[in-house]
Structure formats: structure tokens, C-alpha cells
Amino acid sequence: MFQLDQLLTPSLTFCATPGTSKKKVIETASGLIAEQHPELESAEVYNNLLARERLGSTALGDGIAIPHCRLSGCEEALGSLITLEAPVDFDASDGQLVDIIFILMVPEEAAQEHLDILAGLAQLLSQAKFCDALREARSDDALYQAAVSYGH
């Protein structure tokens, strides 16, 4: 069973993050992730996430996106939950702007784990009550608590 608290840490949870575009949000997030995980290069995280976006938008609809990639320097699955100060265009198929982003990075060789985690995230983020709880959070800590305590 998918457990968000095994993937997400308080240090990778960011509430009301500024961003004006998909690229800018991914760039900001890459920097925040690299600050917490010095073994990861901000530019590599950014380039890999952007390369995946070029294959097709990772927006699920309803204001949610799950940018994701596999990284050579990544030793275990890492997740970063971000709510945006103002929604941005993520090329979602439903045309809605995105305000909740969950970035997923996994080790390069972890293909099946990558798919399993993505499926769990997509299922969780498709629940309106979960997303409402995330949108109501007003601090990084409140966002983290809302995310990991949901359903418990």
C-alpha cells in the first residue's frame, strides 16, 4: 500500500511557492530540492524534469501536476509537495491552471518503483477532499501535516 509519509519529508514540503510559469516553478523546485539533497545537482534535476515535460504534460487535470524523472545521482525515491502562490499554466488537457505540484524523483534503475509510486500519487491526488486539505494549508508544516495525515 502506498504511504506518502515514506516519500515526503517536511524539508521538501513548500506552501504558497511563487512561480510565473511551468519552467520557473520547476526551476525553483529544483533549487529547493538540491538545497536539501546536496548529492543532487539543481541543473540536473531541472533538465531531467523539463525533458520529461517535453514528452507530454504531467498535469493530471483539476489543478494538479506530477512532474517526475529518474536521476542517476538519486539513491532513493524522493518527493516534493508544492502548492503555488498563484496557479500557472502546465498545459493540462482540461485547460485548468495548476496550483498543486508533486515532484517525484527516483533512481535511474528504479523503473517499476517509479511507476508504482506514480500510480499511488495519481490515486491520492485525484481525491478532491485530499486536494482541498492541501489548498487550505497556510504554512509548510501545515501542508506537510495535511498531506501525511490524510486518511489516517
Active site residues: 68
Query: In the structure grid, which three cell numbers stand for residue 3, read together?
Result: 504511504
Q: Cα(134)–Cα(150) distance, rounded to whole angstroms?
A: 10
Whether 96 and 131 have beta carbons less than 8 Å apart is answered as: no
d(CA 38, CA 132): 32
Residue 20's Cβ-side half-sphere holds a number of Cα atoms within 13 Å equal to: 0
Query: In terms of Cα–Cα distance, which of 150, 90, 88 is closest to 124?
Result: 150
Task: Residue 81: name the closest of 6, 151, 136, 15 by CA.
Answer: 15
